[in-house]
Amino acid sequence: MKLIIKNKIFTDNTNELEKDSIFVLSKNNEKFKDIAINGGFKIIESKNLKNYLDMSSIKIIGITGTNGKTTTATTIYKILLNLGYKVALQGTRGFFINENQVEDYSLTTPVQIGNFVNIQKAIENSCQFFVMEVSSHAISQNRIEGLHFALKIHTNITRDHLDYHKTIEEYIDVKNSFLSDESTKLVNIDDEVLKYNSKNAFTYSLKNSSNFQVINKTIENKMSVEFIYEDKKYSFNTKMMGIFNIYNLMASIAAVFITTKRALDEICKAVENFQSVSGRMEIVSQKPFIIVDFAHTPDGMDEVLKSFPNKDIICVFGAGGNRDSAKRPLMGKVAKKYSKHIVVTSDNPRFEDPKKIIEDILAGIDDKSNVIVEENRAEALKKAISLTDDKSVVLVLGKGDEATQIVGDKKFEFSDKTEILKILNKIKTKN
C-alpha cells in the first residue's frame, strides 16, 4: 500500500518501491527488510509515520471490545454528523467519509499504513473526527502504532478470536493493553475482567457507581433510559433494542460529550434521530418479526437472545470455519437456553466441512427435540420463517449485514436480509 505525503512515497510493499521511495517497516513485513536495504531504500518504522503526516486537525476516537465495537463506532459517527461535524468512520462495515462510503467491507482495523492513508483522506475532506474500530489483532500486531487517540473506548471482553490468541488470558491481556497508558479513555466498569490505567479515565455503567451512570431504564416497544452525570439527570429514548445497546449508546453519548464538550441534552436528542446499525439487531420484518444480528460468540448470542423474554424465539445460526472451534458447543448451549426452535446451519465454513461445524454446535445441545439441522442457509431461513406465529421472533445470528458467504477460498453473494425479504415476497405473492 502507498501513502504519498508532500511528494514523498511511503510503502509497506517491497514490490512497490521505486526511486526515492521510503519503506515502512512493521511487525507484518519485517522479513522483507533486507530487500529494502539491498535496494538502498530509506527505511522508517511504521510508528514514525506520525512525524510525516500532520494529524493535529483531526481527533481520533478508537473503540475496542469483543462486542459492540461496530454499533458504538457507528453511533458516535452518526451523532457527530447530526451535530454538524465532518466525520470519517473506519471499521468492519467499511470506510466512510461524511455521508459517503469510500471503501466496502474490510479488516476491522487495516495495517498501519492503511490507517494513515485513510486518516490522510479524512483530513483532505476537512474531517474533524476519525472514528475507528480497533480489533485485538490490530493491538497485538501493532497496527495502531503512531496514532494519537483523543479518546480510547473499551466496551467489554468476552470469549472470541481464540483461533488467533490461543488462550482467553492472552486475549484479555491484549485487549487491556489498549488502556494501559495515560491517554483519555472511556471504560465500561461493569466488565469484571477489564483492567485500565485510571489516569484520565471516564467510566459508564448500568450497575456500578460511575461518571455516566444509568439509574432507570424501561424496555418495551422502544427503550427509555435515564442517567446521571455530575449529579444532573439526563434521558433519551431509542428504537434500538437490548440491554447491550444501552451500553453501546451510553458509550457513544459519553464519547461525543468528552470529545466535543457539547451539551449532554443536545447529544441525547441527536441519539433519538438514530435508528439502528445495519446488521446489528436490525429489524428486517415486523410481521413476521425477524431480526438480523452479527452475534457470533456465546456471550454475544446470550445478550441478543435474552432481550426477548416475552417472545417464542426461533434462532437461526451457524459458526465460522477455521475459527475458535471450542466456542461452538457453547453457542449451541446458549441457543438451547432461550429458544423454542433452533435451526442450525452454515455460516462461513471456509475450509472446514460444514457438517463437522454443525456437529460441534450440536454437542452443546442436550435435548435436540426442537432442533432443525439445515446446512443450506437459504433453506434454513425458509424453515425458520415457516415456524413463525404472532408470538414468535426469528433471530438470524452470525453474519449481520455481510453480503457474501465464504466457502473454501471463494466468496458467494449471500445476504441474510436480502434472502429473508425474497422469501417473504414469495410468500406474499402466493397469498
Binding-site residue numbers are 14, 65-71, 108-109, 135, 141, 143, 323, 347-350, 398, 402
Binding residues for meso-2,6-diaminopimelate: 323, 347-350, 398, 402
Whether 163 and 322 have beta carbons less than 8 Å apart is answered as yes
Q: Which three cell numbers stand for residue 414?
A: 449471500
DSSP H/E element including 4: strand 2-5
Helix (H/G/I), strand (E/B), else coil: 397: strand
Please give the sequence-ordered ranges of beta strands (E in DSSP) within 160-222, or none if there are none: 185-188, 201-205, 212-219
Annotated binding-site positions for ATP: 65-71
Residues 292, 298, 303: CA angle, nearest 5 degrees: 55
Beta strands in 254-409 (DSSP E): 282-285, 290-293, 312-317, 341-344, 371-373, 392-397, 404-407
d(CA 380, CA 316): 7
Determine the Cα–Cα distance for residues 4 and 417; give it in Å rounded to an integer.
39
- Check: CB of residue 246 under 8 Å from CB of residue 214: yes
